[in-house]
Chains A and B, each alone.
Chain A
Amino acid sequence: MRFFPRFLFLLGMAAAPAARAGEIDFNRDVRPILTKNCTTCHGGVKMAGEVSFLYREDTLGQGESGKTIVVPGHPEQSEMIARILSSDPDERMPPPDHHPKPLTDAEITTLTEWIRQGAKWGEHWSFAPPQMPATPEVAKTDWPLADFDRFVLAGIEAAELSPSPPAAPEEWLRRVSLDLTGLPPTLEEWEAFHQAHLADPAKAREQAVDHLLASPAYGEKWAAMWLDLARYSDTFGFEKDPHRDIWPYRDWVIRAFNEDMPFDQFTIKQLAGDLIENPDPHDLIATAFHRNTQNNSEGGTDDEEWRMSAVIDRVNTTWTAWNATTFGCVQCHAHPYDPIPHDDYYRFLAFFNNSEDVDLNSDFPRTKVADDPAKQAEVVRLESFIRQRRDDMNAPMRALATGIADWQTLNFQKAEVQPPTGKLTQQSDGIVVTSGTTPNNTVFRLETDALPLALLRVEIFPEKDEPAEWRGRGAVIAGLEADLIAADGTRSPIRLREVAADFVAGPFDPNESLQGNGGGFGEYPMTHRPRTAWFIPWQAVQPTPGSRLEIRIRHGATCNESQNTVLPRFRLAASADPALIAHLDTPEHHAVWNELDLLRKQYNEIPGITIPVMRERAPEARRDTRVFIRGNRMTLDKVVEPGVPDVFGGQGVGGNRLDMARWLVSPQNPLAARVMANRLWAEIFGTGIVETLEDFGSSGAVPSHPELLDHLALRLRDHHQWRLKSFLRELVLSATYGQSSRSTPELTSKDPRNRILARGPRQRLSAEMVRDQALLLSGLLERKMHGPPVFPPQPDGVWNSVYSGATWQTSQGPDRYRRALYTYNKRTAGYPAFLTFDGSSRDVCLARRLTTNTPLQALVTLNDPAHIEFAQAFAKRMAEAGPEPAARLARGYRLITLRDAPPELVTTLVQLHADTRSEYEKTPAESAKLAPTADEAALVLVANTLLNSDLALNR
């Protein structure tokens, strides 16, 4: 009981007015002490003595010694306190050899009092905002270059390891070039760097990094990373998997990275570029981020079901990409691990529930991307004007119509349905109810006594009165005709001129009800509320006595072939008030029409393609968002307003998508900066500090270096102001990154996955890099950027979608040799070589590719005709070294590694070349399939071998 006297003293202190009055807060008071003094050894990377302070369960458990670490309420029984207070240098924590200074009395008091109060835990680590941690003490003070190196070094030293020596300049340059631009350096770049490095290594590295960050290839590399999260693809997905034009979004991402757009802006533009005031002309293109959702064009699907599916995907993608939170769990129930209530899912979903898109095969709504980027501002201006003028036209008509008091509800003596399987019944309130079977071409034929008519009002009602049950199948008037039938049976049509509506929203214009093109006024594809429209005739009708009025309502707006939009309930009324007839001939009304015509003409004259984008529905057209009971969209509960869960600093955040996007990148959100810093770290170092890039919740992995993560997150957000280039510069110029990746048996044994980073990162090339490197080395690479996707060679029969005639037309000319990210991606049949190297199918947001090492990859790089073509071209570049085989082979080795080949290796390759050449001399027909001469064919084989070596396939 050597600690006993001091322990009693402390207990006395706790009983007296304490140093820290009141309740101990774990995150505020305790976690910093643990993080500063304990978790480096007793945490995620290292659980020395099987003790960890990352989780309460672990902290309340027993270490290797079998003693309980913390006994809530009983500091005197807690081994943690005993060890902190111990005067035995072998016992004391933290160990005196690494930490000469023991904990301060204040710290010990806090810990003791915390345990006495029951050792209450704070929320999960990632829900607390990041705090800039104190820089840890290290022994090897001359090693760190960047601040963050000290955190890494502290871990290395705690693990009783030493950092590895610096990487050779060629190793470092090849690694950093591939990491920053996805391409290896050329020999010229290497020579320049090598010379500069001899003079001043540090300066040479800085210059090289600046050069790489300024290269257009930088944006292409980082876009490839982001497009996995954006689930970017050139097709809709599902069964037929038809083509979708959305590649301008991909180009926007490349440009954003190259321009070093700060990540907060990058976020806001993609999530809410349509809502920004005074936007940049290209901001709307950025919103295609969330139009990369799959669109189900299969016959018979319910567009509302798939609209909702897309909305849910947007919610889950947003949470995975920015916050690494498995928010999808909350769709059906409160989160199993993390404190997120069920309703919060729908509060968040409400941010996304009012966009115009509804899973239509037209991918409505779309925006035009002008062929000439300089015209984009004009496109945006015209689109916004046209929408505004359409509302301007409707608003006065609606005001006039709603001001009319004398309405005569039409009571029908005849109400027939064609085909007769349907039935109409009029209630005493004048509402006509549809029943029976009503296919999509159903026509209602209604007849009543004629009356003076200057305006016809149509009200459409959802099937049910209860607002929670308003949502039902759509209701669209695809045609409305009226005839006057005189007493003698003579028919004269009433010519209708225009349609005014309570509001204009969705893919159809109300005037289409008079044009017979299938669209028109109504709710599509789902009803959400009662609607009203006013049909305005050319002239007021004064019927002769005894005449009758016939009104025909036609349908025809289908959703994916089988879902019809027949009015479920409606009511018609007539008014003799000529206000609207008069309005249509006012100069103001004519002026809006003329302006609209002009604007549309100007718009149509700008060449370009259209792509799907996000557009918010008009305020009048807002959809209510209701909680789905147990996640089922068919069973609806209460209405919720947009909001963000409290646990993520969402208090007071509401409004629209723009508010949500701003919260995501605000300091209130504890996650986005950590998640992005971790993602960039993982790209550079191979594994995230939190290995599960997709999950920072309780079910995800714990950070290997929690303080380092917070340090980096705050550096990224506050110091670098969300600018990725300067942040990445800091990472790659660090001592940690600069280490040699060579491992020793000791390192491999103690740290097989290099989580402690006592050696430099060594990663397999990504799917994109495997192609891009081979293209560059072989001299085939076409550097052209941007534009429609391309079709490099792929095996026959890979594209085999049902009900689809799409074929793969292999690109000819330069487009055959473009970088991987320009390759056409079909969701149901991705480019095989990429999928084999762990590329994403882009069905859903993918936050982390799991790197694999399989025989199928070997088959790709050995046998894929595309890779044989690379080898053929690479052989030609090797041959530039002169006629000597040894010189040619050494050049090949040097092109890949930037190094002189070791003599034994040259011998191996020369022998290979000689053997294969003599074989090809015997079989000229075979040889000719690879190259004109046996010598060249043998060189192709050696080239293929070199490109398959572990040296080439890793960085």
Chain B
Amino acid sequence: MNIKLTINGESHEVEIKPGDTLLKTLRGLGYYGVKHGCETGECGACTVLIDSKPVNACLFSSAQAVGHSAVTIESVGEHPEQGWKRSPGLHPIQDAFVESGAIQCGYCTPAMVLAAKSLLDSNPNPSDDEIREVFSGILCRCTGYKKPVQAVLRTAAAARGEEIDPTDGMIPASPEWLGGDGDPSSGLEEPLTGIETGEVIAPTRVMPKIQVTPETEAWQKVGKPEKKVDAVKLVQGKPAFAADFDRRGLLYAKVLHSPLAHAKIKSIDKSKAESLPGVAAVLTWQDIPRVVYSTAGQSDPIPGPLDSFSLDNKVRFVGDRVAFVAAESEEIAIQALDLIDVKYDPLESILDPSDALKPGAPILHDEPEYVNFAESDPARNLAAEIRIDIGDVEVGFSDADHIFEQEYEVPKVQQAHIEPHVSVTYWDEDDRLVIFTSTQVPFHARRQLAPVLGLPIKRIRVIKPRIGGGFGGKQEVLSEDVAAHLTIATGRPVIYEYTREEEFIAARSRHPMRIRMKTGVKSDGTITANGMYALSDTGAYGSHALTVTGNTGHKAMALYVGDGEYRQSPNIQFHADIVYTNHPPSGAYRGYGVPQGFWAVERHMEKIANQLGIDPIEFRMKNSLREGELQPFSTAWSEGREPSPETIETCGLDECVQQGRAAIGWDQKHGDQDWHLIPGKPHLRKGIGVALVMQGTAIPYLDMGGASIKMNDDASFNLLVGATDLGTGSDTVLAQMAAEILGVKVEDIIIYSSDTDFTPFDKGAYASSTTYISGAAVIKAAEEAAKRIQVRAANMFNEEAESPTTNAEDVRLADSKAIAPDGRTIPLADIGLETLHHKDQEQIMGTGSFVSPVAPPPFAAQFAEVTVDIETGQVVVDKLVMAVDSGVIVNPITASGQVEGGMTQALGYAVSEEMVYDSDGKARETNLQDYHIFQAHEMPDLTTIFVETFEPSHPFGVKAVAEIPIDGVAPAVGNAVFDAVGVNVDANPITPEKVWRELKNKR
């Protein structure tokens, strides 16, 4: 049908199908700022304004929009520099989003900007609650909503003529900002006083509190809240994501998924599907080579079994692949799936991991091609086995006055990045296969896909555009092979984009585990031995099976070594079996096994402290790892490779505890019975809890990042990195490091990541490694370029008559100038012109790569405050505080965004998120309504505090920040519930019924 649409004030005559959504039509017209995140209106990434109101374009028909006015992000602001054309620049809301750090991956940003615009157009003085309400229909998995709300508050405040808190200044803080809850000096959200009127104005401060290290004081770019380098394009909704790349003749791929948990495929008749007009190809296991591989995006050799095929003659979970279809439209492809006739031979399935190792259990992997890694044993459904013994726990247990044993359980949870997995593949003019993909691991994807596709590595080019969130979910090579097989079959470009349901049934998730703890403790609180056994459910395939669960022990069981003699020789045991079941596969998810471990460890420590009558913080600090001590696991295990001893050079845990307990008011609340009661609400109790955590920074002797940099005529620099910014801001912090070395503005660093043809190798974005590993590579590359600049500058200084001789090493680079010791300066742009055009021409450039012998752990203290309904068991989390030692913070705004977003994901892990399956292995959660992630209008207060240390193994003293925020929230909430009502819920999420049941048992 032919319709007329009014979009951004312009009339468009469009031919559509009656069922076309406005999302489809708008994207077809090139309005790529409207994003696809789901098909059921829950994520809001597709928000447009219809008659000035925010509406989800995925549920609004194009035909419905006739007679209405649609507004997309494309009509809101533009880049301030448009050459000779005058530009109005960005909209004030967009400016505020950019400067406030409200943008991480940027996938939901256009929706948020439009929603904010609709609010401010009708209400110039919105409250925090009103802003959160307008954001309630837009899910953000990155930010925790705090900074987007602040951006709108700042926009409104600026429009009212109020002075807003600057973002461009460091706020050095010393221990005097310690203070109890309610002390204005300790809060981040205290209302500011109006500059002129004296009235209270909106809280517009976006900077977190930071206790800076002295080493950073002279730095100009590192440690500063620089704007994200990709923010301007993301805030405009530019076509920067994989699905935004349109190709002529594009085919749409769909996958037929298994309805059974375990079955042999007896036969597949695809003839009807193939004969459907518009179908270009239907592929089954009989059509493509049978190549065994692992979908886990990891370095070679992959530390896990090879147990997957693009398509197989056996299905191992509900959602497993059965066939691929490529068609002229998505609708035809869906129709074709229905026409594929598959006959299955159902097999007995394993849906309880404790059944997997039993004799006589059905075997999931009986294929002869299976390739073992380490102790994997498919005949026993064992994907991996870990047996780590440090010291002798039996001796430790015999030394103990008390033995504490308890079982814990953690659920399967989803990354739920708002951008689904998406790949676009095509043959380029050289008949090389190009794969545009939303991946965290472009180089691993290229290497791993080559044999699967029957192509040499050199004939594959993987391009990673912007990524709409990954959180580990895109450290998996999942969608690429589908599109690539279909491109090979048809010769045409193919896009394969997961639906939200596919994300739940056919992507990866956090490993669920059953964990048994056994701890020996002396009466004075000294831990003498600590043991953990984990039964980990890897699901149908063993991707990340060994390494995720290994980290459960490697990090969570390393924190408490014991005190006194046990510090030098702790007794720690970590054993784990990682078993196959007929659940969807587990995989990498932010934290990578560590949140599972800390749920058990930190709940366990709380109980021990309580039973011994020792203050829970004091007990933890007595036994925790300290500076100068050996990471106990470093001599025992290293992700399936040779371990090497690592000493903890920096540990700010004590200061984190002090700052965190002050910020949440621990001393005023914990132990005060009156505080736990709420006047007039006898059914409610308040509680406060803590968890201490540590992570790692990269994988030692393995993770390598590379960088190259070249100087241009105007003293701008092209920085090429293989590192993969998945929304974290890593491109920005890498540019900041380069700018610091080269003495230029961050905006003079044009960073590009990543393209396997053009950028140096990088292992990808995982293991909290980019700032540390890739950052060090960038520093090396920049230093190499800087050295040449110094040489050329010295030559130029020395050419000036009567001037003193200048040595190259004495030339400083700062403020975009080369500065001689005597104060003379040469603009770097002059050096750029000199070296490229005028004399002794050369390309100034540098390359660098870095691999670390250590993985310095960040440490943190996480606190939670909750209110529990003792009649219903409902838990409301009121406040989360995280004080973290992540070494030097390169960018306080992007780093605090990481902490806020991580805490918010972990909050779901604490109280709501889980993936549950019925007795047939079918998922309960297939959409973002049932799988509830926190929305803007239900968030607790979030507080971030950085306690800097200077990690000596890195030139800028950095450690990781990305994963540690997710480790301690759930146990802190669990401990707060215990503090509130005296019951323990040992299996998260802490749902109302679980609390109610424990309360009943207690009575």
A and B are partners in one complex rather than unrelated chains: no
